[in-house]
Amino acid sequence: MIRHTVVFTLKHPPHSLEAKRFLHDAKKILTAIKGVTHFEQLRQVSPKNDYQFGFSMEFADQAAYTRYNEHPDHVAFVRDRWVPEVEAFMEIDYVPLGWG
C-alpha cells in the first residue's frame, strides 16, 4: 500500500469561491481515477507551517500509483488547475513499515 499525501497553499484566499471550486473539482476529478482509495481533503491547522490544505489518498501498490500519476485526467488536472492555482506544496508518499 502507498499513501500519497500533499500539503499545499492556494493562490486563492482560503475561504474564497475559487478555493472552494478548486477543492470541489479536485475531489471530483481525482476520486474518479481507478485505483484511488481513502481520498481525504484536509485543512491544515498547525501553526508550525504555512500550508493551508492537504490531500491524502491510498493506492494498493506501486502499479496503481503509477497508473494514477500517468492517467490523462491526473495529468490534465496538474497542468490545468494545480500549476496555475497552487502557490506552494510538499508531497510525501508513504509505505507501511514492515516491523514494529
pLDDT tens digits for 79-96? 999 999 999 999 999 999
Task: State the first-to-last Cα distance of the chain, in angstroms, to the nearest integer.
Answer: 17
Instruction: State yes or no: pLDDT of 99 exceeds 80.
Output: no
Euclidean distance between CA atoms 36 and 26, whole angstroms: 13
Is the domain spanning 2-94 CATH 3.30.70.100? The answer is yes
- The C-alpha torsion from 94 through 56 and 47 to 79, rounded to 10°, is 100
> pLDDT at position 14, please?
80
Sorted by where each begins, the domain ranges of the chain are 2-94
pLDDT in tens, 21-77: 999 999 999 999 999 999 999 999 999 999 999 999 999 999 999 999 999 999 999
**CA-to-CA distance for 84 and 68, rounded, in angstroms?**
20
Q: What is the pLDDT of residue 31?
A: 97
Confirm if 19 and 13 have CB atoms less than 8 A apart: yes
Q: Which residues pair with 89 in a beta bridge?
A: 8
